[in-house]
Amino acid sequence: MAFAPRFIDGKVFGQDLGKIVCVGRNYARHARELGNEVPTSPILFIKPASSAVDLSKPIDPVRTADGVHYEAELALLIGKRVSRVSRVSPATACEAIVGMGLALDLTHRDVQSELKAKGHPWERAKGFDGACPLTPFVPVKGRFIDWSDLRFSFDINGELCQRGHTAQMLFPVDRLLSEISHSFTLEPGDVVLTGTPEGVGRLPRGARLTLAIDDWLFLDTSSA
């Protein structure tokens, strides 16, 4: 069944979810915590629409022997076509954003490490069924959103695990969308995951999960 993005007021976006474009190592401290180099240009990969599930409901991701690892990220819902946006004035790309929410970029870290060691792509570790739980989206049309000053958090069983601030992004939202648009045309229904801050780790079973963006979004859910 196709996944249709929806907003916090319950309204469903007019098109099914498209591709999910993800940004790796967009926070320097996260890159360092996994022993990776800090990139000088955005690292991009794609999750298929089939990886998305609704974070409003308990999530039950496929697990490997090492379990599944969480990476909380600001998610942007795209509402109009974005292609080859000028790198000189990237802010125009933000006009295509119709919603913001949060996602868990779930990862089979053991599989990813094995694939990276062999120089292979990451999709088997990142694009499996259930690998992209998404919250409902906050509508942004007609609202002033300072994309350089958004704070979000992810708690497990009431304990803060990740805290993100978009001011700490290596590549801010406008530049990310511009850069992405030169590799992949973004279409209505696509979602962009903007990278995760430090604090990633293994997702426990039977845990209470809490996600929030400033005063815009608050969601309680659980893992099976």
Residue appearing with tokens 């909380």? 72
Q: How far apart are CA 25 and CA 152, in angstroms?
A: 17
Average pLDDT over residues 139-165: 97
Question: Residue 108 falls within a domain, yes or no?
Answer: yes
Q: What is the pLDDT of residue 66?
A: 94
Over 129-190, what HEC string results? Answer: CCCEEECCEEECCCCCCCCCCCEEEEEECCEEEEEEEHHHECCCHHHHHHHHHCCCCECCCC
Question: Residue 8 falls within a domain, yes or no?
Answer: no
Segment 36-46, tens digit of pLDDT: 888 999 999 99
Confidence band, pLDDT 50/70/90 cuts, at residue 2: confident
Q: Is the whole model's pTM more than 0.85, yes or no?
A: yes
Question: Residue 119 falls within a domain, yes or no?
Answer: yes
Q: What is the pLDDT of residue 1?
A: 65
Question: Residue 168 falls within a domain, yes or no?
Answer: no
* Residue 206: both structure tokens together: 């039977």
Question: Residue 165 falls within a domain, yes or no?
Answer: no
Q: What is the pLDDT of residue 79?
A: 98
- CATH number of 117's domain: 3.90.850.10
Those residues with Cβ within 8 angstroms of residue 16's Cβ, 6 or more apart along the chain or in another chain: 2, 3, 4, 49, 189
Question: Residue 50 falls within a domain, yes or no?
Answer: yes
Question: Residue 51 falls within a domain, yes or no?
Answer: yes
Q: What is the mean pLDDT of the chain?
A: 96
- Is the pLDDT at 27 greater than 90, yes or no? yes
What residue numbers bound the domain in which 104 lies? 20-69+82-147+173-203
Look at the chain and report how many structural domains it folds into: 1
Question: Residue 93 falls within a domain, yes or no?
Answer: yes
